[in-house]
Amino acid sequence: MISLFAIGEAGPIVHVAPHTLFTIGGWPITNSVFYGWICTIFICSVLIWVARRVKIKPVGGIVQFFEYGVEFVSNLVESAFDDKRKGRKYVPFFVVLFFFILLNNWLGLLPIVGEGFQAHGTPLFRPFTGDLNGTLAMGIITMGLVYSASIKESGGFLKYIRHFFVGSPLNPMYLLIGFIEMLTDLTRVLSLSLRLFLNVTIGDIVIAVFAYLGHIAAPITALPFTLLEFGVGALQAYIFVVLSVMYLAMAVNAHKEDHDLTEELVQETIGAKKVEATV
Amino acid sequence: MVVLADAVNTAIIGKGLMIGLGFIGPTIGMGIVGGNFLSAVGRNPEASKFIGQAFVFIGLIEVYGLLAFAATFFVK
């Protein structure tokens, strides 16, 4: 967001909360949701356009970028699971999540987004990921998928609850640790959404501050931080996906039976080697 | 103390302390992450494939600095 017009007398204009543009049936529609709709239509149309162009023989240009992203995320998801076939099921969700966050972050850096482009005194557009409600919705949906999938994979609610406890829940120490584990599990929604929201919003604020400091030369002073925000946006999309995959994989992998080498197995292998050596 | 509070805008001192103290911790943490990553790569060059994990930890850390920065907007 190069805030070209954010030059005020008192300082840079900073809004942490989004503005209400209009209401539909009593529901306030804020500028972040409005821009989120536009971005969603854009992202859907771009992804559909790309999906029609993908061929076995590689196509250059923007299609290759999306192909690389899909491959990157699918490798990421599959390598996190012990059983690769289990991981393949969740690849489409995480690919969509990655591209949604990435393109929302990048579209939020356009010059039309922010304080510069106003209608009736309120900014018309605001990045969708720069609104706590939007990122909270993403976090709730992601963690909802993680919880439902891990309950399904572990085969029952009680078995899912069981994996929080390292040993027997009758041991008071393990009981306490298990409850603390559950509480930290619930804070993941908040930490996922707050991380994305704060990174995008504070990136916008930093750009606005440097555009204000630059005064007439605002584009020159704001450009390095806009480029930095491109990297931060990509990094945040990566981190969001990696963390949610990690949470899912931790819950799913925990229910595998341990295949540690017991003493019997070790003895067998040693014995087999001896037999081979003698034969 | 009443005189001091009248003479000095304590909100600005508070904001400065919040930003300064809030940025010390995460920057030290990022230094530790980066330094340990580099020492691991120096010892074992194959460990350079774990740069994604290093960035995940940087992402985990930086949110606390950003929280300190965001909290300054609520000090009046």
Q: Give per-residue pLDDT as tens, A75-98.
A: 888 888 877 787 788 899 999 999
Domain residue spans in chain A?
Answer: 20-278
3-class DSSP assignment, residue B25: helix
Q: What is the pLDDT of residue A88?
A: 84
Percent of chain A with pLDDT over 90: 16
Q: What is the pLDDT of residue B27?
A: 93
Q: What mean pLDDT comes out for the span A232-259? A: 80
If we measure between CA atoms, which residue out of A136, A148, A239, A150 comes closest to residue A189? A136
Tell me: pLDDT of A6 over 70. Answer: no
Q: What is the pLDDT of residue A254?
A: 67
**Global confidence as pTM:** 0.81
How much is the ipTM here?
Answer: 0.74
* Substitution target from B56, B61, B74 for chain A, most A beta carbons within 10 A: B56
Judged by CB atoms closer than 8 Å, whether chains meet at B66 and A239 is answered as no
Beta carbons of A107 and A41 less than 8 angstroms apart: no
Find the CB nearest A198 among B52, B60, B67.
B67
Tell me: pLDDT of B47 over 80. Answer: yes
